[in-house]
Structure 1
């Protein structure tokens, strides 16, 4: 998003209800904090989830592209 587009959106946001403006401000603070912090560091719980997902992938527990394609074709409206 360009600076111009961001400025335009912020002008529209000025007319939003106060609760929506507060939510947007909180999101902006979170983004800013993330940028200032540098590289993202996952939590121990997130690392466990990543490890489980990788183990499932190695064990072949995910549907193949062909499996997904067949289900979509079977259930797609004519």
Structure 2
């Protein structure tokens, strides 16, 4: 008995592609990428040099962030 993958590998490429898209959509893997707001992009840009300098949030700052945002 052939595996499903062996069977699908005999299908034309375009059919294999469509089946792959269906599978990925069914598990939520084909979502459009998240687009940063201008404010978020500015925050990310500012954080890169901070990280390069070793400037990271303290444990207390992280706890406060989680408390504020419900985690």
Using structure 2 for the length normalisation, give the TM-score.
0.30
- Highest CA radius of gyration, 1 or 2? 2
More helix by share: 1
Q: Which has the higher contact order (CA 8 A, sep 6+)?
A: 2
